[in-house]
Amino acid sequence: MKKIFVFSLSLLICLASTSIEAQSKRKKNKKAKTEAAKPPEEKKEGKIKPYNKVITKAAISDEGLFKTHQVGDAYFFEIPMDYLGIDMLLVSRLAKLPADLGGGYINAGTKTGTRLITWERFQDKILIKEKSYNAVAEDNLPINISVKQNNYEPTLHAFDISAFNADSTAVVIDVTKFYATDVKAISGLSSKLRSTYKVKNLDASRSFINSVKSFPKNIEVVQDMTYNAAEPPAFKSAESISIQMNQSMILLPENPMQRRFADERVGWFTFDQIDYGSEALKSKTNTYIRKWRMEPKDPEAYARGELVEPIKPIVYYLDPATPEKLRKYIKEGVELWQKPFEKAGFKNAIIAKYPPTKEEDPDFSPEDIRYSVIRYVASTTRNASGPSVSDPRTGEIIESDIIWYHNHLRSYRNRYLIETGAANPAARTLDTSEEDAGEMMKMVIAHEVGHTLGLPHNMIASYSYPVESYRNGAFTQENGIAATIMDYARYNYIAQPGDENIRFIRKLGPYDNYAINWGYRVIPNADTPEKERITLDGWIVEKAGDPRYAFGKQSSRFDPRAQTEDIGNDAIKASDYALKNLKYVMAHLPQWTSDVTNNYEDLEELYGELLGAWRRYVGHVATNVGGVYENFIKPNQAGTPYQAVPKSIQKASIQWLHKNAFNTPNWLVEKELLTDIDYEGYITRLGAYQKRFLDGILSPETLNRIIDHETINSQNYSALALLQDVRYGIWMEAKTTKKVDVYRRNLQRAYIDRMGFLITENSDVRALVRGELKILKGVLTNASNRATDTISKYHYKDCIEEINKILDPK
């Protein structure tokens, strides 16, 4: 009976240790746990064996977080009882993989899973339990019992206890099966990838544990896994996929970092916790930011306003695979963030280091969770990214890996030539100078570092500056082209030929200083998140009204100020300048490409990207139509959170679209260039872009949004006015005897198709569309009678037939 009571007490202690506060009680509970964990006498000769029968003299052992042992082909963890019930993070990461796995956006260093786990004892087993802090309540509140009951956590794996150490302060388990078999929770192949490549099973004969290394706060396990797959991404005839996984298990901080409340007026990556301990009539969702722990070495000097070093700076290591000539630019890109951290009171807060040699650090591995690494990936993908790993309890960023794909600079070279070539002689070449390419790379790295510091994209930042300022050399040199490096504003495409001393490449801006100070500055005497709020709110209110400190979500589809790849506070004027530059580049594109290389490969690639630039510039104006400004403000601030784009801007945008997108842009379809790069597809390619713009401004979402805001204020742009304005421009030729060219005929057919789609809407849109089509039918009847060329006459008659089908489907 006494033994049963002792075991029950042990189980209760393990369950109670799930809270953050339990971490600090670890040492106090050590003695109690040791006593409770003593193995029952009758089990010693059963499954649980004497220590020396399991960990033999042949064992290769490694001291660290857990003592690890290799005995032949078997691997064992010796887990101190003191670590049962303690929060840890299990991070699964690809170390090696076949080419094209996942279509090019999965690479060495990609995380495939992050789980908060605890090791717990149940009878004669040790369990890995996955935990969550999404739902919380204080331990001393009765509701905490219900939170645990209604958020029961899964068991990832159960291990038989193999042995206890000599004084029963640690338990030994065999982890071979966990790491050498196909455990889905830590696998590198998702269900989607398994389906895509028709994965049958893991081949145990070709799968094994490569290495197990234990360090003071983490354990690193490398697995080689080979799967039988009918359609692998590479080495097709082998019908196999081999990957190497790195499994990192790291002890989370015993003293959790103080959380900081998020505020939608300042952009941060965030996480939510549902607090059931709230005294309100419902649970409360608290949102906190994700950030690194940044604490001053000298708190007193910090409090006096002096710059001090942090106890633990943020350190990035360069990947050993990084080309030598690029290393200095990557290092500079990381350390650009030292200035914003100085605004938060810290010096030398973030540094980059070249990869250590084998002699300097024989254990260095980019997959080791102790190191934040800028990975250089041999891949044809043109991209870069900045993921990170954070403590789910507090949002503390533990580690991050920035991914740079080898071919990414090619994209930047192309856009540099296309977007700045008219005003920037240095861009008019396929061989971009090392200095310019290095500056581009430095700023891309800085952008990705910003993500790893906790900052999301801020797409409204480029709206901060007046369009004409982009033609001012002094202004661009000081301010760059957006108020933050976190906007997608890569180049100054507004500056015109003859403008002098222009900076064409982006840089950090005032918002970066502001956001880092807001997230990282230590607030004196504020020892809880609640006590910080007044100060944090005051910093926001202080900057309110200054567009340089505004935040705009990337996810916004309706705010024309928060768009990707745009610059300037007037999309119409900015795009006017941009198209002037594109016309110049279009006229000189063969001279800068095929005339130099004596082949058409680069000409074809750059023409395709030039079309993409034209599409972006037109799209920036199109977003004004049906647009709504989203202002992140509190009720005690002046203004309205949602305001329709002024009627005058929406009408002007429609007229601009008719002139620059819907009227055939003949300069884009220059026949000599087109016949040099392709044998067909000229009409289809441009028509697809035009249809995209037309469908966008005539979407149900756009029209219903306009109807909403017309109802709120009759002075706003109306859906009827929009439909009339679009009809007038699209069917301009129908009022004359002018021949309709093939591009316009395609566009007009696309218009009728779109109206046929809209007439199915169960709202005022249906009535408006029906009325417009009836008017158009009369216009086209007259036009077909007036037409002087056969193709236009046939086209009008065909359009009338299609309208009849829409108005009377029977």
From 2-16, 690-704, 718-732, the region with the lowest mean pLDDT: 2-16
Per-residue pLDDT tens over the stretch 286-300: 999 999 999 999 999
What is the C-alpha separation between 538 and 241, in angstroms, rounded?
A: 55
Which pLDDT belongs to residue 43? Answer: 43
Helix (H, G, I), strand (E, B) or coil at 99: coil
pLDDT band of 109, cuts 50, 70, 90: confident
Average pLDDT over all residues of the chain: 91
Is the model's pLDDT at 470 over the cut of 80?
Answer: yes
Is the model's pLDDT at 71 over the cut of 80?
Answer: yes
Q: Is there a contact between 426 and 398 (Cβ–Cβ < 8 Å)?
A: no
Question: Rounded to whole angstroms, what are the CA distances from 693 to 196, 555, 682, 699?
Answer: 33, 19, 18, 10
What is the C-alpha separation between 177 and 208, in angstroms, rounded?
A: 10
Helix (H, G, I), strand (E, B) or coil at 119: strand
Mean pLDDT value across residues 156-170: 95
Mean pLDDT value across residues 422-442: 96
What is the C-alpha separation between 753 and 757, in angstroms, rounded?
A: 6
Residues across the chain: 810
Question: Rounded to whole angstroms, what are the CA distances from 62 to 70, 464, 481?
Answer: 9, 56, 53
What is the C-alpha separation between 352 and 315, in angstroms, rounded?
A: 6
Task: Give the containing element (helix H, strand E) for 794.
Answer: helix 790-807
Does the CA dihedral 760-765-767-769 come out positive or negative? negative
From 131-135, 471-475, 505-509, the region with the lowest mean pLDDT: 131-135
From 129-133, 616-620, 750-754, 788-792, the region with the lowest mean pLDDT: 129-133
Q: Is there a contact between 78 and 71 (Cβ–Cβ < 8 Å)?
A: no
Task: Give the containing element (helix H, strand E) for 111.
Answer: strand 111-122
Q: Is there a contact between 143 and 137 (Cβ–Cβ < 8 Å)?
A: yes
Mean pLDDT value across residues 388-393: 92
pLDDT band of 29, cuts 50, 70, 90: very low
Q: Give the residue among 235, 237, 241 at the shortest CA–CA distance from 198.
A: 241
What is the C-alpha separation between 244 and 223, in angstroms, rounded?
A: 6
What is the C-alpha separation between 438 and 334, in angstroms, rounded?
A: 13
Q: Which one-letter DSSP state was computed for residue 556?
A: -
Angle at 589 between CA 378 and CA 406, to 5 degrees: 5
Which pLDDT belongs to residue 32? Answer: 42
Q: Give the residue among 387, 78, 388 at the shortest CA–CA distance from 219.
A: 78
DSSP per residue, 442-483:
HHHHHHHHHHHHT----TTGGGGS-GGGGG-HHHHHHHTTSS
Which pLDDT belongs to residue 46? Answer: 62
Q: Which one-letter DSSP state was computed for residue 762?
A: S
Which pLDDT belongs to residue 378? Answer: 78
pLDDT band of 384, cuts 50, 70, 90: confident
Mean pLDDT value across residues 485-510: 97
Helices 742-758 and 719-730, axial angle in degrees (round to 10): 150
User: Residue 515 contacts by C-beta under 8 Å, 6 or more apart in sequence?
Assistant: 266, 267, 268, 340, 455, 458, 484
DSSP per residue, 415-433:
HHHHHHTTT-GGGSSSS--
Mean pLDDT value across residues 1-26: 40
Q: Give the residue among 772, 779, 764, 781 at the shortest CA–CA distance from 806.
A: 772
Is the model's pLDDT at 34 over the cut of 60?
Answer: no
What is the C-alpha separation between 690 and 445, in angstroms, rounded?
A: 35
Q: Is there a contact between 210 and 224 (Cβ–Cβ < 8 Å)?
A: yes
Q: Which one-letter DSSP state was computed for residue 733?
A: G
Which pLDDT belongs to residue 358? Answer: 86
Token pair for residue 77?
């963890």
Token pair for residue 181?
């078999």
What is the Cα 625 distance to its own chain's centre?
27
Mean pLDDT value across residues 245-274: 95
Helix (H, G, I), strand (E, B) or coil at 767: helix
What is the C-alpha separation between 251 and 194, in angstroms, rounded?
A: 31
- Residues in a beta bridge with 316: 352, 372
- Residues in a beta bridge with 399: 389
DSSP-derived pairing of the beta strands 350-353 and 314-318 = parallel
User: Residue 424 contacts by C-beta under 8 Å, 6 or more apart in sequence?
Assistant: 416, 495, 502, 504
Does the CA dihedral 82-84-85-87 come out positive or negative? positive
Token pair for residue 147?
């939170």
Per-residue HEC secondary structure of 60-78 comes to EEECCCCEEEEECCEEEEE
Question: Rounded to whole angstroms, what are the CA distances from 507 to 6, 387, 434, 476?
Answer: 64, 21, 18, 10
Question: Rounded to whole angstroms, what are the CA distances from 435 to 273, 432, 438, 592?
Answer: 46, 8, 5, 20
Q: Is there a contact between 355 and 524 (Cβ–Cβ < 8 Å)?
A: no
Is the model's pLDDT at 449 over the cut of 70?
Answer: yes
From 58-62, 101-105, 413-417, 527-531, the region with the lowest mean pLDDT: 101-105
Q: Is there a contact between 264 and 632 (Cβ–Cβ < 8 Å)?
A: yes
What is the C-alpha separation between 585 and 417, in angstroms, rounded?
A: 8
Q: Give the residue among 337, 586, 353 at the shortest CA–CA distance from 450.
A: 337
Question: Rounded to whole angstroms, what are the CA distances from 142 to 8, 147, 277, 279?
Answer: 21, 9, 9, 13
Q: Is there a contact between 219 and 249 (Cβ–Cβ < 8 Å)?
A: yes
Q: What percent of the chain has pLDDT over 70?
A: 94
Sole residue written with tokens 């060329």? 789
Identity of residue 273: Q
10 Å CB burial of residue 710 (0-12, 13-18, 19+) is buried
DSSP-derived pairing of the beta strands 135-136 and 270-275 = parallel
Q: Is there a contact between 431 and 519 (Cβ–Cβ < 8 Å)?
A: no
Mean pLDDT value across residues 465-472: 98
Which pLDDT belongs to residue 444? Answer: 93
Mean pLDDT value across residues 123-146: 84
Sole residue written with tokens 């939510």? 272
Q: Give the residue among 758, 791, 792 at the shortest CA–CA distance from 773.
A: 758
Mean pLDDT value across residues 347-375: 90
DSSP-derived pairing of the beta strands 270-275 and 397-405 = unpaired
Q: Is there a contact between 276 and 146 (Cβ–Cβ < 8 Å)?
A: yes
What is the C-alpha separation between 69 and 73, in angstroms, rounded?
A: 10
Token pair for residue 493?
């495409």
Per-residue pLDDT tens over the stretch 634-654: 999 989 999 999 999 999 999
| More confident site: 369 or 266 | 266
**CB neighbours of residue 359 within 10 Å:** 6
Locate the domains of the chain by residue range: 2-251, 299-592, 617-807
Mean pLDDT value across residues 444-449: 95
Q: Give the residue among 637, 642, 640 at the shortest CA–CA distance from 541.
A: 637
Mean pLDDT value across residues 480-487: 97
What is the C-alpha separation between 767 and 761, in angstroms, rounded?
A: 9
Token pair for residue 148?
């645990």
Mean pLDDT value across residues 492-508: 98
Most confident of 11-20, 274-283, 502-511: 502-511
Which pLDDT belongs to residue 247? Answer: 95
What is the C-alpha separation between 728 and 693, in angstroms, rounded?
A: 16
Q: Is there a contact between 475 and 483 (Cβ–Cβ < 8 Å)?
A: no
Q: Give the residue among 597, 572, 581 at the shortest CA–CA distance from 676.
A: 597
Note the maximum CA span of the chain: 106
